[in-house]
Amino acid sequence: MEEGTMKSPGHLAGTMGGRPAAAATAAAAATAAVPAVPAVPTDCADGGAADADCDYDARQWDVREGCEVRQILDRVADKWSLLVIALLDRRVLRFTELRREIDGISQRMLTVTLRQLERDGLVSRTVHPVVPPRVDYALTPLGATLHDTIQALVTWTEEHQSEIAVARAAYDERVARERGDAPHTPH
Task: Give the pLDDT band (50/70/90) at residue 58.
Answer: low
In this prediction, residue 15 carries a pLDDT of 31
DSSP 25: H
C-alpha to C-alpha distances, 171 to 159, 168, 174, 175, 185, nearest whole angstrom: 20, 5, 5, 6, 13
Write down the pLDDT at residue 7. 42
Q: What is the pLDDT of residue 114?
A: 97
- Measured CA to CA, the distance from residue 61 to residue 20 in angstroms comes to 20
First to last CA, the chain: 37
Check: CB of residue 6 under 8 Å from CB of residue 82.
no
Residues 6 or more apart whose Cβ sits within 8 Å of residue 139: 85, 88, 89, 122, 123, 124, 147
Residues 57-86, mean pLDDT to the nearest whole number:
79
Tell me the range of 43-52, 71-80, 126-135, 158-167 where mean pLDDT is highest.
158-167
Name the band, by pLDDT with cuts 50, 70 and 90, for residue 133.
Answer: confident
Mean pLDDT of 108-130: 96
Reported as a pLDDT band with limits 50, 70 and 90, residue 40 is very low
Average pLDDT of the residues in 78-87: 93
